[in-house]
Amino acid sequence: MKRRHFIQTAGAAALGAPLITAPMIPSARAQTATVRWWYHFDNPQNTPNELIAQFEKDNPGIKIQAESIPWGGGGDYYTRLFAAIVAKNAPDCAMVKLSSQAQLLEMDALEPIDGLIKNWAGKADISDNIWNVNKAQDGKQYYMPLQYVVLYLYYRADWLQAAGLQPPKTYEEFLAAAKAMTRGDVSGFGMRGGGGGHDNWAPFVVGNGATFAKGGMVSEQALAGNRFYVSLARDHKVTPASAASDGFRQIVDGFKAERTGMIIHHIGSANELVTALGDKVSAVPVPRPANGKGWTMFGDESNALLSGSKNKDAAFKWISFLSSGANNVAFNKLTGQLPVTTSGATSWTLHPKRFVDASAASLPLAGVLPDSPKTADFARTVWPTSMQRALLGQVTPDDMMKTIEAHYNG
């Protein structure tokens, strides 16, 4: 506020002073703020240089010092970011995920941006669904949404049409579709029982009412959802025999090879599947329970304004620039994810429109797993081990859920 007051005072003085004194008035344009921004791209050959050049042209008093930090599965990036925060050498702003929001808040490292967003012209171009899923537990907004993916259901449109069925909306319709497409060597659903498969399991279990709070994995809704999911393989036989160990590559390759009729993933697979199958593949939100609530996994990336920044106004201008209209589209062409702006989604051409629409339609269901150290072990070992044992009949579906409950809540 002091800097703004000085600029306003100086401007008023300049208007009232003789012309000859104008060169003595300090100019806001002459005061350059340098904003340090940390980012990571999957493809290191892609750079944000054109966006930076445009921003600096539009904002001549601000320079962007962009620093590409290796992702390293997330571990390298966050180890460096946390260390920089502790050492009081953090950037002004940085790309961040929701999975680290709670830890960053515990470190007092995040600056709330509610007031800045309120007065930002681009706010309305980002849907309430995206703002809400990025909101912290204290109700404040610390993250500026930047890009996203959301898990949905890929399906063989031609096979469903031949069976006289519509794309499934409910669990019951999903099972009916899977049964209709299961024949010979073809399975109706490409279940991901191996690593990362918790993302595919959660729409049927968390979507049915399970929670990660105490008792939330052994409630009747949670147990029923898990029984249904395991039964797809054990009882209904609508999944490949290899489902217990299948990972991402296996389910995608099986779908491309026309050995499965449905899989769950996000828009990152769309172009690969279209190359193989063309218009035969389409997508809809994941199925929901009878109550219509449902749940699916939100994959996010945002920018955060760090509390130690001495250039908060300038840093906010930069991160809001990246989340605005055409700039957000240009940024996401570098990352391959989806723009968070409604206008950007309308003009998006990197993926076929039906998959962009399926992503947007899935946002009301979108959520994230608990931001807890226990979640990493859940995803890496507890879930895949327990799921495999349940699919192989070594434990009951209910025992599987008791293991997950014990992991999170003792």
> What 3-state DSSP class applies to 9?
helix
Select from 269, 295, 267 the least CA-distant residue to 364. 295
Residue labelled with tokens 């150290």: 373
Of 154, 148, 195, 45, residue with least CA distance to 367: 148
Task: For residue 153, give the DSSP letter.
Answer: E
Question: For residue range 189-236, what is the model confidence (pLDDT) as tens digits?
Answer: 999 999 999 999 999 999 999 999 999 999 999 999 999 999 999 999
Of the pLDDT bands very low, low, confident and very high (cuts 50, 70, 90), residue 73 is low
- What is residue 372's predicted lDDT score, i.e. its pLDDT? 82
Please state whether the predicted TM-score (pTM) of the whole model is above 0.85. Answer: no
The 10s digit of each residue's pLDDT in 331-370 is 999 998 999 999 999 989 999 999 999 999 999 999 999 8
Q: Which CATH architecture has domain 152-285+372-409?
A: 3-Layer(aba) Sandwich (3.40)
Residue 149 has pLDDT above 80, yes or no: yes
Residue 32 to residue 112: CA distance in whole angstroms: 24
Between 19 and 96, where is the model more confident?
Answer: 96
CA 182 to each of CA 192, 199, 229, 237, 259: distance values in angstroms, whole numbers, following the listed order: 17, 23, 16, 8, 9
Q: Tell me if 37 sits within 8 A of 64, measured CB to CB.
A: yes
Residues 187, 238: contact at Cβ < 8 Å?
A: yes
198 contacts 376 by C-beta, under 8 angstroms: no
Q: What is the mean pLDDT of residues 154-179?
A: 98
Q: Which residues pair with 35 in a beta bridge?
A: 64
Segments making up each domain of the chain, as ranges: 32-147+299-348, 152-285+372-409
For residue 260, give every residue at least 6 positions away whose Cβ sits within 8 Å of its Cβ, in sequence order, or none: 186, 187, 188, 189, 190, 240, 251, 254
Dihedral sign, Cα of residue 236, residue 240, residue 245, residue 248: negative
Whole-number Å distance between alpha carbons of 61 and 220: 59
CA 209 distance to own-chain centroid: 21
Average pLDDT over residues 287-308: 95
Report the C-alpha gap between 385 and 113 in whole angstroms. 41
Q: Backbone dihedral region of 196: left (phi > 0), alpha (psi from -120 to 50 degrees) or beta?
A: left
Same fold, 32-147+299-348 and 152-285+372-409: yes
Question: Which CATH number does the domain 32-147+299-348 belong to among 3.40.50.300, 3.40.190.10, 1.10.10.10, 3.30.360.10?
Answer: 3.40.190.10
- 3-state secondary structure (DSSP) of residue 230: helix
Q: Checking DSSP bridges between strand 281-284 and strand 62-68, what pairing results, if any?
A: unpaired
pLDDT (0 to 100) of residue 27: 44
Q: How far apart are CA 337 and CA 335, in angstroms?
A: 6
The predicted-structure confidence for 93-127, as pLDDT tens digits, reads as follows 999 999 889 889 999 999 999 999 999 999 999 99
Using CA atoms, how far residue 247 sits from 192, 199, 213, 265, 369, in Å, is 5, 11, 27, 11, 19
- How would residue 74 be classed by pLDDT, with cut points 50, 70 and 90? low
Whether pLDDT at 245 is above 60 = yes
Nearest CA among 258, 407, 281 for reference residue 354:
281
pLDDT for 373 equals: 77
